[in-house]
Structure 1
Amino acid sequence: MGRRSAVGAARSVVTDVDLRAAARLCERDPVASVLAASRIESLLAGGGTRGGSALWGVEREGRLEALCWAGANLVPVCSPEDAAALDAFAATALRQGRRCSSIVGEAGAVLGLWERLSASWGPAREVRADQPSLAISAPPAVEPDPQVRLTAPDELGVLLPACVEMFVEEVGYSPLTGAPGAYEARVRSLVRDRRSYLRMMHGDLGPEVAFKAELGAVTRAVAQVQGVWVAPSLRGRGLAAPGMAAVVAAALAATPTVSLYVNRYNERALATYRRVGFEQVGTYATVLF
């Protein structure tokens, strides 16, 4: 049944989706869909009207009911009970071959998609099936750190090593092993777009990053914090909660809700975020290749 169902369902996948319809679909659950919605809204802001080959949709009776962003990450936006949509996205992904470094998003949809892809795309390097999705829409419950601020463009040289160290610690390999210059360009763009925050310290070898975080995905409704990191030598000194509070306060000045997702086993991080005022609103999952 699986293969026939998937192939048949694939006929219902449309590409070059209307971006306004896609944005409306994401509004059903802004926190769960922020990774896809941020890309869709960016295209709309640039004057685009259609999603191109990177945006797959499933329509029923002329209405967009599910979508999947297919870029560096594969991000399904659909009900985990929508088996036909997951079949369709899986069939399209299998036909194209794996081009993404991860599948990420709402846990039910991600794990449902991975169940359909794992026989051909597996084994994954890691499956993180339980990542609490947290959000805050009120002022932080702890005092923001006044030394946390936007990263200045001329601080890229000291920021980049901290970003690389964070990435290696979180994912297990260096982001510099990919396309030459791609990771540095991403970090540079976050600084340029005023979405990179840090607290500096003066170490033995000069200025160093003590705390950092980025607004990695931003929409009209949600700013998702990513890349939270405290220098290893400074952990346990109470920098994380005030630092996060500063980032939340800054983000809430422009966006109604701030969100993030974290691995369930990272109890220290979960405790920090809850202290700041974050509450769980859902669950993410990530399949890493």
Structure 2
Amino acid sequence: MLPGPFAVARALATTRVLDAPDLEDTLEVLHRDPVANAFVATRVEAVGLDPWRLGGEMWGWFDEDGQLESLCYAGANLVLVNAGPEAVRAFAERARRQGRRCSSIVGPAGPTAALWALLERSWGPARDVRGHQPLMATTAPSAEVAPDPLVRRVRKNEIEALMPACVAMFTEEVGISPLAGDGGLLYQARIAELVGAGRSFARFSDDGEVVFKAEIGAVTAGACQIQGVWVAPEHRGRRLSESGMAAVMEVALREVAPVVSLYVNDFNVRARAAYQRVGFREVGAFMSVLF
């Protein structure tokens, strides 16, 4: 029986927007590397491929046999997944035609660098390019650093006390305030979501100020990713980031996922050393292009 015109069109397509029937194949691609793909996988596992619920489109690249091999999440971030040279070129062409709608490009360093080289002329200049961000992971609690017993889950009635630390961390890390644009409504909603899910951790001083904080952001069955690590400036130099991370790692491994990961700027030598002392090891590298 000859395939209908729709089947032929699908077979001939190099890239297209994925939809509900593609969910199983999409998850198969994402699960090939649970650590590197945690950010995208957690969104797809939670809401599927509907663009409205996903917060963006999922583009798929198919090989000559019509098999889904590569993905590109096109939302607030543009993120490549398992993208070889042909897929990168195809995604770059689609992104160039659509125009920039994202605030950053983030993903595995090699493919992301190739993508940016193709997009820079039409999308540039970038506000910042971070070409090498070590991706680190661990499967065991820290053997050398004792968890800080004062680090605990943030309670819902502590969000107001937590927010200044979150804003300070974001501004230090990204270079702009998360309160710009919409006044921080989306950012505050995201923090509240993490607190409500029990994935925001902090150590508070006796007067209720945040001393250390971190969140478990992306969560899948195979891996989770720690983000937003921050120590109040007046408390830095006391290795509170190490003991704090040891505490968050312990909970994450016990209750959330078998692998805990994070990525860090290569120029942040002190943070990289701290994560290594806690037990993280480099397993890859990311790249970020910030607009």
- Structure-2-length-normalised TM-score: 0.90
The corresponding residue for 2:131 is 129
**Matched AA of 1:276:** V
Superposition pairs for residues 21-60 of structure 1, below 5 Å?
21-44=25-48, 54-60=57-63
**Matched AA of 1:139:** P
Q: CA deviation at 1:104?
A: 0.5
Q: Is the 8 A contact 2:69 2:82 kept in 1?
A: yes
Q: CA deviation at 1:43?
A: 1.4
Q: CA deviation at 1:94?
A: 1.3
Q: CA deviation at 1:176?
A: 0.4
The corresponding residue for 1:279 is 281
The corresponding residue for 1:84 is 86
Q: CA deviation at 1:178?
A: 2.6
Q: CA deviation at 1:207?
A: 1.2
**Matched AA of 1:14:** R
Distance in 2 of aligned mates of 1:238 and 1:262 = 17
Q: Is the 8 A contact 1:217 1:223 kept in 2?
A: yes
Distance in 2 of aligned mates of 1:145 and 1:186 = 25
Q: Is the 8 A contact 2:56 2:73 kept in 1?
A: no
Which of 244, 255, 264 pairs up with 1:262? Answer: 264
Distance change >3 Å, CA 27–CA 208, structure 1 → 2 = same
Secondary structure at the counterpart of residue 230 of structure 2: strand
The corresponding residue for 1:4 is none
Secondary structure at the counterpart of residue 284 of structure 1: strand
| Deviations 1:113-153 (CA, angstroms, capped at 9, x unpaired) | 11111000001001100101000001212111111111100
Q: Is the 8 A contact 1:58 1:67 kept in 2?
A: yes
| Deviations 1:8-49 (CA, angstroms, capped at 9, x unpaired) | xx95111124122111101111111111111111114x999x
Q: Is the 8 A contact 1:150 1:197 kept in 2?
A: yes
The corresponding residue for 2:242 is 241
Is residue 224 of structure 2 the alignment partner of residue 220 of structure 1?
A: no
Is residue 156 of structure 2 the alignment partner of residue 168 of structure 1?
A: no
The corresponding residue for 1:155 is 158
Report how many residues are paired: 273
The corresponding residue for 2:15 is 13
Distance in 1 of aligned mates of 2:66 and 2:110 = 25
Superposition pairs for residues 100-115 of structure 1, below 5 Å?
100-115=102-117
Secondary structure at the counterpart of residue 208 of structure 2: strand
Q: Is the 8 A contact 1:36 1:69 kept in 2?
A: yes
Q: Is the 8 A contact 1:54 1:70 kept in 2?
A: yes
Q: Is the 8 A contact 1:200 1:210 kept in 2?
A: yes
The corresponding residue for 1:116 is 118
Q: Is the 8 A contact 1:127 1:287 kept in 2?
A: yes
- Structure-1-length-normalised TM-score: 0.90
Q: Is the 8 A contact 2:72 2:79 kept in 1?
A: yes
Q: Is the 8 A contact 2:147 2:243 kept in 1?
A: yes
Q: Is the 8 A contact 1:11 1:88 kept in 2?
A: no
Unaligned runs of 5+ in 1: 1-9
Distance in 1 of aligned mates of 2:247 and 2:50 = 33
Q: CA deviation at 1:88?
A: 1.1
Unaligned runs of 5+ in 2: 1-11
Q: Is the 8 A contact 1:76 1:104 kept in 2?
A: yes
Is residue 96 of structure 2 the alignment partner of residue 94 of structure 1?
A: yes
Of all paired residues, the percent bearing the same amino acid is 52
**Matched AA of 2:86:** A
| Deviations 1:135-191 (CA, angstroms, capped at 9, x unpaired) | 000121211111111110000001011000011111111010033411111111111
Q: Is the 8 A contact 2:29 2:82 kept in 1?
A: no
Q: Is the 8 A contact 1:16 1:51 kept in 2?
A: no
Deviates more, 1:152-161 or 1:140-149: 140-149
Q: Is the 8 A contact 1:251 1:258 kept in 2?
A: yes
